Chain A
């Protein structure tokens, strides 16, 4: 058990925050959970590695809190904070592309890890799609950082998302096909990423062996 908290990549946090987080993972009722959710969200917005880790951390805290039967305070705080950030997403994007892609990574990670009765949280489906649609807009496709974030999220949660709302996934992919085909000024890397995700979905959310070889082999000539 001692290693379980060290498994989480929380070293980037300051010492106090690490301490609170470690306690929250084991005994959520012993700490101020609003503070914990704020620590997690704040860190996620500046730290790409952490934003990928946050879902797992939150899952552990929610599970621990459910066991203590004291109500799910943490989840509520977390989701409400997430909602605030979602509402401010355009400002965040204007301020810092890095913070924006961190936010998208974070919300997708939460979508992936936190489930209600084994189902993704319905309330997050449209917001997640809204974020991905935003990343698929022409101005965002010009930034490799955003394209990279977009395809990474789709690799992770694309299949689940499509099950929750296939129509919106279709709309997203109309956008991506158009971007791939028509947009001037895309870097070849961005086009490659888009082509791969188009093939990935077309193959039922997996790549064929040859496609995998094409995209991931080091010795392509």
Chain B
């Protein structure tokens, strides 16, 4: 087995450019333009290591980036998590649309009655992030923030109606269009704020166990805060049935610190 093929697998774009598209294409007598190359005869196979890179540069084969963002590492759990999170995101998406369209209709009615013009029906639609890959990535980041003792303490100590914008941490809205940079910054600030609720050292950890349910609901409620009004009764009702299959959702163990578990985040 030759080492150079491995090296090439990990070589950067820059290396490729400086070495040409393929070292072996240098064997060709003619270039792409058809003209003869200067030194273009046959080459010996011992030119195999032109960049002299040490084999330590290569990284071992990984099972992929998924394992980096997840707390489980066995394939069975990873696939289950992937399926759960995807389903949750799709479900949230439907609710969010329903809600956003609902408020839009209400606003339009108010506007027409007060005589102001402006029909930007589709504007809110345009501002929705619909790329599933982006939504999944964001949901994972949010889950990391929520999967902390600090978050449990926060939602327990500060009831929803007492939370003030700007004062209390507020989960970023994953459905709004933001640049990657903006989103990551929002997540960062949110987590910094959450750290204010880190448990004092040595506190009994048992106590936080029974808040799983509240945490799940909080997920949806946070988004609702963005909209002043009108949850149709049916939507409110659907919140109560969502726990049905959480027994195999593989909720990971609560962690005291978030920093330790997210090397792949930034």
Contact = CB atoms under 8 A, between A and B. Distances in A.
Contacts of A139: 1
Contacts of B75: 79-80, 82-83, 121, 123-124
B248 A72 contact: yes
A178 B27 CA distance: 12
Interface in A162-221: 171, 174-175, 177-178, 181-182
A138 B2 contact: yes
Contact of A138 (B1, B64, B247): B1
Contacts, number: 78
A123 B78 contact: yes
Interface of A is mostly: helix
Contact of B79 (A79, A127, A133): A79
Nearest to B244: A69
B80 interface: yes
A5 interface: no
B24 interface: yes
Given A71-B247, A80-B74, A126-B62, A116 B79 contact: yes
A9 interface: no
A76 interface: yes
Given A122-B66, A174-B8, A79 B82 contact: no
A152 interface: no
Interface in A114-137: 116-117, 121-127, 130, 133, 137
A77 interface: yes
A145 to B, nearest CB: 18
A75 B78 CA distance: 11
B76 A80 contact: yes
A82 B63 CA distance: 13
A182 B24 contact: yes
Instruction: Bin the interface of chain B by size.
Output: 20 to 34
B87 interface: yes
Among A80, A122, A138, residue most surrounded by chain B Cβ atoms (within 10 Å):
A122
Contacts of B66: 122-123
A174 B245 CA distance: 45
A76 B77 contact: yes
Contacts of B74: 79-80, 83
B45 A182 contact: yes
Contact of A126 (B63, B90, B245): B63
B83 interface: yes
Interface string B186-222: 0000000000000000000000000000000000000
Interface in B247-263: 247-248
Nearest to B248: A71
Contacts of B2: 138
A204 to B, nearest CB: 21
A111 B78 CA distance: 15
Contact of B63 (A75, A123, A177, A178): A123
B24 A178 contact: yes
B24 to A, nearest CB: 6
Nearest to B64: A126
Interface of B: 1-2, 5, 8-9, 22, 24, 45, 61-64, 66, 74-80, 82-83, 86-87, 90, 245, 247-248
Given A76-B80, A79-B75, 7 more contacts: A71-B245, A75-B79, A83-B63, A83-B75, A121-B75, A123-B78, A182-B24
21 contacts: A71-B248, A75-B76, A75-B79, A77-B76, A79-B74, A79-B79, A80-B74, A83-B63, A86-B63, A116-B86, A117-B86, A122-B82, A123-B63, A123-B82, A126-B64, A138-B1, A138-B2, A139-B1, A177-B22, A177-B24, A178-B5
